[in-house]
Amino acid sequence: MPDLFIDGTWRSALDERTREIRCPADGSLVGVVDEAGGKDTVEAIAAARRAFDEGPWPTTPAADRGDLLLRVADLLLRDKDALARAESLDTGKRLVESEYDIDDIANCFRYFGRAAAAETGRVVETGTASVDSRVVYEPVGVCALITPWNYPLLQTAWKVAPALAAGNTFVLKPSELTPHTAIHLMRLLEEAGLPPGVANLVLGAGPEAGAPLGDHPDVDLVSFTGGLQTGRRLMAAAAGTVKKVALELGGKNPNIVFADADFETAVDLALTAVFLHSGQVCSSGARLLVEDSLHDRFVDELVRRASRIRLGGPFDERAQSGPLVSAAHRAKVEAYVAKGLAEGAVLRCGGARPSGPEFEAGFYYPPTVLDECSSDMSVVQDESFGPVLTVERFSGEAEAVRLANDTIYGLAGAVFTTDEAKAQRVAARLRLGTVWINDYHPYVPQAEWGGFKQSGFGRELGPSGLAEYREAKHIWRNTNPSPQGWFA
Ligand code: NAD
């Protein structure tokens, strides 16, 4: 069965190219999918344009759009096992993590389904009895939705659900490495009764399949999650036709541990912060800032536990962490660690590929801790997007804030302390889109997600997540018109 979904039809790429998808855990063949080129994407944009300009979806009552999203949430849960398995095979991620993701994804559809139904617009007081005035919300138009490989279906849901809730049509381009759950989602949207042309899927590499989404005049909005360099390129491409742009980019996220933190909790969550999904998380707490007086004890314990983390494939129930997504990504992480060591960081654990037959065919890299780092090192400033923790010392609140903010990024981070007032003071000074206090990583679809500074702009999730995909239109009605005579 072909894998590109354009104008309600499944078809192959125009030039019949395909791509093999292999599991990062063992290199086994997961599937062969169609690989779109630019011409396929231009056709998908045309279909989305027609469906927006002529189709029923943008003017479907918001409550009905909401109902469709609620149906999709049910279908996602019905197919949870198959979806989680497909996600794990594409990414190498542990099955249990993929299962959590599918629950989150269904929640996201449910949240935006309900938000769509609650969509009302508002009446505006004009002060004139014969005039009424209201603000209504309308969809932006054709949306280009471009997503990465680390949370393939979750990042897709964060865009598809609000885009549909607001009445847009879209072209989705998931990462070329992890296409299978996006294909499955399109089938569920079809099954739920979405009209043809509203949802379109192109699979393929960014520079070919993705590029037209950045500059095509028929695209009204680009919502992108991925790396900083690609985000900059898309923003520049979108400027030519003044598209609305939302960017969710990288992060080098500070995890601040004060000496008065609850030791057990802070160590445990410092490990989760950076080693969850092998560090391939945009909000990963890959930059530990630990108060000088606690440093030795804290880092010793962290290293002891990090060294024991068991690596394994997605279906190995004893595994605590999986492989990196590709050979190229592992090479990038290795180069990053080598650079850190050359800059003077002290290797405390990890730093070399694991040995053993079970790791040979996969892209494994162990939890790695680089101690005695300083914020002028590129290893501290750059995103490795792997299981690599840099450790810096600080002394006192002011230095913690200064170091944490000394980065071009501003996505997320955490503060661990038992002093509630200090936690609040520090949280208020951090230039981050999300600050966790005595916690790391949780999120809810009701609250906004997004970055300050070069971590991007625009918000996903929460009320502002829906607002990204809407235009506000003011309608002014004169119920008692009469000539004004200014130019009589
Ligand atoms: P990437 O930028 O390489 O690719 C992301 C997507 O963009 C892919 O679908 C890719 O094919 C596409 N793309 C690449 N070049 C393109 C072009 N010229 N035109 C159109 N599309 C193009 O990122 P990645 O390696 O897939 O993902 C990792 C990055 O994503 C990390 O930097 C991570 O921090 C970031 N991320 C951010 C968030 C967030 O919420 N802020 C969430 C997840 C991942």
Residue with CA closest to ligand 1 atom 41: 248
Reply yes or no on whether the pLDDT at 52 is more than 80: yes
Rounded to an integer, the average pLDDT of 11-27 is 98
Confidence check: pLDDT of 366 > 80:
yes
Task: Judge whether residue 422 has pLDDT over 80.
Answer: yes
Residue-level length of the chain: 488
Helices (H), 244-351: 263-275, 295-307, 327-342
pLDDT at 79: 99
Measured CA to CA, the distance from residue 32 to residue 229 in angstroms comes to 28
Question: 471 alpha carbon to ligand 1 midpoint, in Å?
Answer: 26
Best of 91, 216, 223, 282 to mutate for ligand 1, by most ligand atoms within 8 A of CB? 282
Which residue has a Cα nearest atom 40 of ligand 1?
Answer: 248
Q: In angstroms, what CA-CA distances link 314 with 84, 176, 298, 360?
A: 10, 20, 30, 15
Q: What is residue 273's predicted lDDT score, i.e. its pLDDT?
A: 98
Bridge partner residues of 223 (DSSP):
145, 246
Q: Measure 134 CA to ligand 1 centroid, in angstroms.
A: 39
* 175 Cβ inside 6 Å of ligand 1: yes
Residue 384 near ligand 1, beta carbon < 6 Å: no
Alpha-carbon gap, residue 260 to 144, rounded angstroms: 47
Pocket test for ligand 1, best of 146, 177, 208 (most atoms within 8 A of CB): 146
pLDDT at 403 over 80: yes
Residue 120 to residue 110: CA distance in whole angstroms = 18
What's the pLDDT score for residue 369? 98
62-78 and 95-117 helices cross at what angle (nearest 10)? 160
Please spell the DSSP secondary structure of 339-382, one letter per residue.
HHHHTT-EEEE--SPPPSGGGSSS-----EEEES--TTSHHHHS
pLDDT, tens digit, for every residue of 60-110? Answer: 999 999 999 999 999 999 999 999 999 999 999 999 999 999 999 999 999
Give 369-394 pLDDT, tens digit per residue.
999 999 999 999 999 999 999 999 99
pLDDT at 407: 97
The DSSP 8-state label assigned to residue 321 in this structure reads B
Q: Is the CB of 230 under 6 A from ligand 1?
A: yes
Instruction: Report the DSSP beta bridge partners of residue 134.
Output: 123, 475
Go through 222-243 and write b for each residue having 16 or more CB atoms within 10 A of its CB, e for each that does not: bbbbbbbebbebbbebbeeeeb
Which tokens is 277 given?
């999904």
Task: Give residue 261 CA to ligand 1 midpoint distance, Å.
Answer: 35
pLDDT at 48: 99
- pLDDT higher than 90, residue 192: yes
190 pLDDT more than 80: yes
- Clarify whether 23 is annotated catalytic: no
Rounded mean pLDDT of the chain? 97
- Which pLDDT tens digit goes with each residue over 206-261? 999 999 999 999 999 999 999 999 999 999 999 999 999 999 999 999 999 999 99
The token pair that represents 80 in the structure block: 């949870």
Spot the catalytic one: 248, 291, 334, 383: 248
**Torsion of Cα atoms, 446 then 451 then 456 then 458, to 10°:** 30
Please tell me the predicted confidence (pLDDT) of residue 456: 97
- The finding on whether 208 has its CB within 6 A of some atom of ligand 1 is no
Query: In which order are the strands placed within the sheet that holds 122-124?
Result: 122-124, 131-139, 470-478
Q: Which of 383, 384, 376 minimizes the C-alpha distance to 451?
A: 383
| CA 227 / ligand 1 centre spacing (Å) | 4
Q: How confident is the model at residue 117 (pLDDT cuts 50, 70, 90)?
A: confident
Mean pLDDT of 37-62: 98
- pLDDT tens, residue by residue, 252-279: 999 999 999 999 999 999 999 999 999 9
pLDDT at 142: 99
Q: Assess whether 208 carries a catalytic annotation.
A: no
DSSP string, 191-205: HHTPPTTSEEE--S-
pLDDT tens digits, one per residue of 128-174: 999 999 999 999 999 999 999 999 999 999 999 999 999 999 999 99
Q: Which of 84, 76, 82 is nearest to 100 (CA)?
A: 84
The predicted pLDDT at position 281 comes to 98
What pTM does this model have?
0.97
Which residue type, as a one-letter code, is found at position 175? S
The two three-digit tokens of residue 391, written as one number: 């450790």
Quote the CA–CA distance of 352 and 39 in Å, as a whole number.
43
pLDDT at 320 over 80: yes
pLDDT (mean) for 443-454: 97
Q: Are 436 and 414 in contact (CB under 8 A)?
A: yes
- For ligand 1, the distance from its centroid to the CA atom of residue 226, given in whole angstroms, is 2
Nearest protein Cα to ligand 1, atom 38: 282
Residues 47, 160: Cα–Cα separation, whole Å: 17
The residues, ordered by sequence, that sit 6+ positions from 353 with a Cβ below 8 Å of its Cβ are: 330, 359, 364, 365, 366
pLDDT at 119: 76
pLDDT-derived band at 1 (thresholds 50, 70, 90) equals: confident
d(CA 448, CA 454): 17
Report the 10 Å Cβ neighbour count for 375: 18
Look at residue 118 in the predicted model and tell me its pLDDT: 87
CA dihedral (429, 433, 438, 440) positive or negative: negative
